């Protein structure tokens, strides 16, 4: 086995094109830091007391990977924190380093299906239909095309779903007329003295509080509920039962709203191309190195060192022992690999925990705690007594 192992020469000079992907090669600050980080990592690994079996391009590769990993963790956090507002957005614009203004767009999209079922919107069209009433007949077959008319045409009852039936008593307001209102309490005689008594009803010229009319309307509706058969219906599959039995005067048709089952299926699974649909196509790109602050760069330096330590361990594992005159040197490759992997995992966990404390939910909870603490402190401040 050859013992001629390339070692760190003690310095380097970065040039664009010396990293595997070249994501940040033309970033001026990345170019400056690349050599500084390589020198720092080499010294942290024991240079010049120990030989470091790595070259400059390997330190550059670790540095590039560390910056990319930092950006990936940051982008993943931003996607998770803003996903509800990003869904449906444009996939063609880079969101890296940009503020995302929260919106209700994603919530409305999720709620549209519920709006369809509740009849308050949604992505399915509501159609109208009607059933012709027959005096004395209470039960009707909704599959009978002779009496059932559908706005969307004759599609068959199995293809539609009725969402609402309009069968209610006429509102009390249209039945509110009493020509003798106000009599017996002296108001009619008072109106006679002003010359209004000859009109019917004369008290139409009398200003009454609005609650008096509301109470009378409620009295009419309550009377209908107690003393008369309630307007109601019962529907079971294609069988409609009407209450009270139609008499051919008050109710001649019963109208209803319905949806097409086919449209519900297509509306719920509508495909919209060119928009953000899931985690995979949210347009976050690599971070710009020059805009990373000192806290982020410090994390990147440490992660670069962990990667370099792991890589050096792999190299030394290949040359686990080196022969020297009258002896043999055993290298610490496996130990370096284990330490590097442990440090990498710890740094990832640390970064994720920091990002979690910066989430929108965590910030709101912290503000709430601050407000509660402040209110508790202020409650102990003596209040002044003002004497007017």
16/8 Cα distance (integer angstroms): 20
* Residue 363 buriedness (CB in 10 A; 0-12 / 13-18 / 19+): exposed
201/185 Cα distance (integer angstroms): 15
Cα 7–chain centre separation: 53
pLDDT in the model for residue 142: 87
pLDDT tens, per residue, the chain with 388 residues:
345 667 899 999 999 999 999 999 999 999 999 999 999 999 999 999 988 999 999 999 999 999 999 999 999 999 999 888 888 788 888 889 888 887 776 677 767 777 777 777 777 888 899 999 999 899 999 888 888 888 877 666 778 888 888 887 777 666 665 554 554 445 555 556 656 555 555 455 566 677 877 887 788 778 777 776 677 888 888 889 988 888 877 778 899 988 888 887 775 455 667 788 888 999 999 999 999 999 999 999 999 999 999 999 998 887 766 666 665 566 788 899 999 999 999 999 999 999 999 998 898 899 999 999 999 988 888 877 777 6
Pull the structure tokens for residue 124. Answer: 């399915």
Cα 231–chain centre separation: 42
270/302 Cα distance (integer angstroms): 47
47/312 Cα distance (integer angstroms): 13
Q: Give phi and psi for 331, each to the nearest 5.
A: -90, 160
pLDDT in tens, 323-377: 666 655 667 888 999 999 999 999 999 999 999 999 988 988 999 999 999 999 8
Pull the structure tokens for residue 100. Answer: 């995302």
pLDDT in the model for residue 192: 61
14/193 Cα distance (integer angstroms): 108
pLDDT in the model for residue 202: 47
Peptide bond between residue 48 and the one before it cis (omega within 30 degrees of 0): yes
- Quick check: helix, strand or coil at residue 76? helix
pLDDT in the model for residue 67: 98
284/290 Cα distance (integer angstroms): 17
337/320 Cα distance (integer angstroms): 13
Strands 327-330 and 139-141: unpaired
The DSSP secondary-structure symbol of 288 reads P
Helix axes 333-357, 294-318, angle to 10 degrees: 160
* Residue 259 buriedness (CB in 10 A; 0-12 / 13-18 / 19+): buried
Output 324-330 pairs: Cβ under 8 A, ≥24 positions apart.
none
The DSSP secondary-structure symbol of 50 reads S
pLDDT in the model for residue 195: 60
What string of DSSP letters covers 259-271?
EEHHHHHHHHT--
pLDDT in tens, 284-328: 999 999 999 999 999 999 999 999 999 999 988 877 666 666 655
- Quick check: helix, strand or coil at residue 20? coil
- Quick check: helix, strand or coil at residue 326? coil
pTM: 0.66
pLDDT in the model for residue 326: 63
**Whole-number Cα distances in Å, 129 to 25, 115, 174, 239:** 68, 20, 25, 15
């Amino acid at each position: 086995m050859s013992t001629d192992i390339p070692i760190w020469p003690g310095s380097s000079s970065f040039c664009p094109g010396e990293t595997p992907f070249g994501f940040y090669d033309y970033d001026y600050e990345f170019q400056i830091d690349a050599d500084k980080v390589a020198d720092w990592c080499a010294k942290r690994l024991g240079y010049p007391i120990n030989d470091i079996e790595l070259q400059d391009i390997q330190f550059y590769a670790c540095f590039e990977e560390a910056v990319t990993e930092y950006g990936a963790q940051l982008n993943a956090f931003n996607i998770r924190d803003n996903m509800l507002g990003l869904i449906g957005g444009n996939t063609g614009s880079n969101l890296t380093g940009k503020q995302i203004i929260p919106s209700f767009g994603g919530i409305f999209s999720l709620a549209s299906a519920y709006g369809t079922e509740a009849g308050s919107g949604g992505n399915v069209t509501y159609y109208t239909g009607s059933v012709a009433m027959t005096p004395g007949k209470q039960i009707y077959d909704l599959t009978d095309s002779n009496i059932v008319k559908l706005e969307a045409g004759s599609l068959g009852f199995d293809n539609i779903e009725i969402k609402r039936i309009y069968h209610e008593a006429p509102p009390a307001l249209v039945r509110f007329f009493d020509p003798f209102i106000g009599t017996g309490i002296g108001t009619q005689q008072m109106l006679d003295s002003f010359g209004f008594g000859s009109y019917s009803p004369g008290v139409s010229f009398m200003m009454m509080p609005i609650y008096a009319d509301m109470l009378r309307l409620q009295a009419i509706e309550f009377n209908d509920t107690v003393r008369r058969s309630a307007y109601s219906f019962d529907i079971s599959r294609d069988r409609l039962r009407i209450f009270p039995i139609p008499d051919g005067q008050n109710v001649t048709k019963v109208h209803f709203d319905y949806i097409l089952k086919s449209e519900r299926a297509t509306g719920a699974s509508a495909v919209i191309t060119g928009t953000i649909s899931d985690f995979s196509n949210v347009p976050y790109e690599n971070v710009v190195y020059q805009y990373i602050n000192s806290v982020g760069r410090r994390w990147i330096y440490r992660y670069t060192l962990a990667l370099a330590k792991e890589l050096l361990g792999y190299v030394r594992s290949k040359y686990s022992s080196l022969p020297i005159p009258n002896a043999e040197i055993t290298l610490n490759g496996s130990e370096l690999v284990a330490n590097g992997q442990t440090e990498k995992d710890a740094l990832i966990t640390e970064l994720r925990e920091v990002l979690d404390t910066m989430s929108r939910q965590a910030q709101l909870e912290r503000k709430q705690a601050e407000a509660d603490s402040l209110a508790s402190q202020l409650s102990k401040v003596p209040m002044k007594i003002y004497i007017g």
